[in-house]
Structure 1
Amino acid sequence: MSTRRTPRRRGRPSMLTSDRIDTIARVLALGVSVGDTAAAVGIARGTLSRWLSRGRDAAEAREDGERPVPADDPYIDLYMRATQARAQMALQAVKGVMDAGMGRIVVQEQVRTWIDPETGAEVTQRQTRYLRAQWRALAWWLARTYPEHYGPNAKSFEQQLDECRAEQHPAGPDDPDMAALAERLAASLAAAPTAPASASSGSTAASLPRPRPSASRPAQGHARRSDPDGILPTPRMPPGPPDRHLGGSASSPEGCRRPSR
C-alpha cells in the first residue's frame, strides 16, 4: 500500500504584485518620499523598505556572479524601477533649477500668422517672454553640489592654496630646511659660554671673567705675580711721541717729569 505525502502548506502570498510595482514606480517618479509612497499604495513604510533592501541585495549578488534565485525577481524589478524613477525625478529637478538660474523658463509665448501682401506667402512670427534669471537658484545648486567651494563653510582661495602647498611640501623632521635650522640652533647653544651660578646677587661681579691685559702694555703687577723669583725682566713702556707741553723727549726720564713751579 502506497502512502501519498500530503503537500506542505505554503505561507501567505506576497503583497508585492506587478500592479503594485507599477504604482510605486509612478509615485516615486513624482518626487514623493518613500514613507508617503508606502502610504499611497496601502502598505507600511517598513515593508516597502524591506522590499527595496531585498531587491538591492539580490541585484548586487547577481552582479557578483552568484546563482540567481527566482523568488527575488519581483524585488529586483521593484528596486530597479524605483531607482530609475528617483533618478529621473532628480534630473528634472536639477533641470528646473538650472533653467531658473539661467533665465530659460518661458512665461509667455505668442504666435502670429499673416499673409505677406507682396509675396503672398504665409509668415509666422513667434514672440517668447522668459522669466528673469534667478541667481539664488544657481547659488543653491552650487552650495549643495560643491559644498567645499561654495557652501556655508567654504574656504577662501588663499586658504585652499595654503592647504595645497602644505600637502605638497609638508614641514616635518625630515624637512632639510628645518633640519639645518635645528643644527644651527644646537651649535649656537653649545658655543655659548655658561657662567657659574652665584650664591648671592652681590657676588655677580666677582664671578664674571676679568679681561686680560693687552700685549702692548702689560701691567707690572701681573709680571711680579707671574715671576715671584725675579728671573724675568720687568717690561718697559715703548717709546712714544714727545710731549709738547712738558718739553723733552719721551725716551728721557726728565721729559716725563712735570716742571716745578
Structure 2
Amino acid sequence: MHVQEAQGQVTGVDRHSRSMLAGYDPARLNAARVAVVGLGALGQNVVQNLALSGVGNLLLVDYDAFEERNATRSPFFPTGDEVARLGLGKAPVVANRAAVCATAADPSVRYAESLVQTAGDGVIRWADVVVSAVDSVSARAWLAERSRIHGRVMVEGGFAAAEFNLSAFLGTSGAVCYRCLNPGRQSSGSCRAYARTAESVSIIPAIQTSAAVLGGMMAEQVIQILIGNQEWAGRTSPAPGATRCAGSGPPSRPGWPVRSARAVTARGRGPKRERRRRPCSCCPWTTR
C-alpha cells in the first residue's frame, strides 16, 4: 500500500471551546485515528466533519477520480488549480482539502489511491474506527469482515436519493455484525430492489442534501465512539424495508432505538421503536 501525507495547517485547541461545551475532548480526538474508505459524496461529507471537529489522524482510501457530474454533491470538488497540481484522483484532492480545514492540534491526513482490498488489512489495523462510505456491496462486506477480525468498530452508511441509513458495528465477539442485518451480503444502503439494480450499473440516485445529513450523522457517531461514549456503538438506523437480524440466540446487548430515514429527513427526529438485535450463526469470524 502506497500511502502519502497531505500538508495542512496546525491550529490551537482554543478553537474547540464550543465543542468542548458539547462534551468533545480535543486531546482525545487529536490522538484518534479514523480510516475513511470511499470518497464520493458521502465520504467527503464525513471527512469534512471529522477534520473540522478536530480528529487528528485520517487515512483516506479511494481509487476513483472526480467527474463533472460529481460537482453537485462534492464539498471537495477540485478547482482548476487543484487539478493541475494534484490531478483528478479523489484521494489526493480530498486529503489535501481536509488537511487545510483540519482543526486538530497536530493534524495528519494520509491517503491511499487504491482499492481498499489492495491496500489490505493495514488500513483496518491502523484505525481506531473504520468508516465505510463505499457503493460496492463486496467492498462493504470485505470491510465488515476485516473490521470484525481485527476488533475495530465500523461505522457505515448508504443513501439513495432522499432515503438513507447508518449503522455502527462493534468489533467484539458476540456483538451484532453487518451480516446479521445483511445475510446475503447486500449493502444496507441499497436495501430495495431498485437500489440494488441501480448499483449494478453504477447509477445510484445521489443528492447533496442526503449526503450532507448522513455524513454529519456518521461523523457524530464516530466522534462519540472516539471520546468513549460506547452507547453510540451498536446502533443502527435502517431505511424502510430493511430486514430484521436473521440469527438466533440470546440478545448480546439491549435493543437500540431505530429511526426511519425518511422521518429523520423530513422532521429532524423520527419516531422511535425498540428492537432487539441478536448475534447469528452466519458470522464465521465470531467466536462463541
Q: Same fold (TM over 0.5)?
A: no
Query: Shorter-normalised TM-score: what interval?
Result: under 0.3
* TM-score calculated relative to the size of structure 2: 0.19
Query: Which one has the bigger helix percentage?
Result: 1
Q: Which has the higher contact order (CA 8 A, sep 6+)?
A: 2
Query: Which one has the bigger strand percentage?
Result: 2
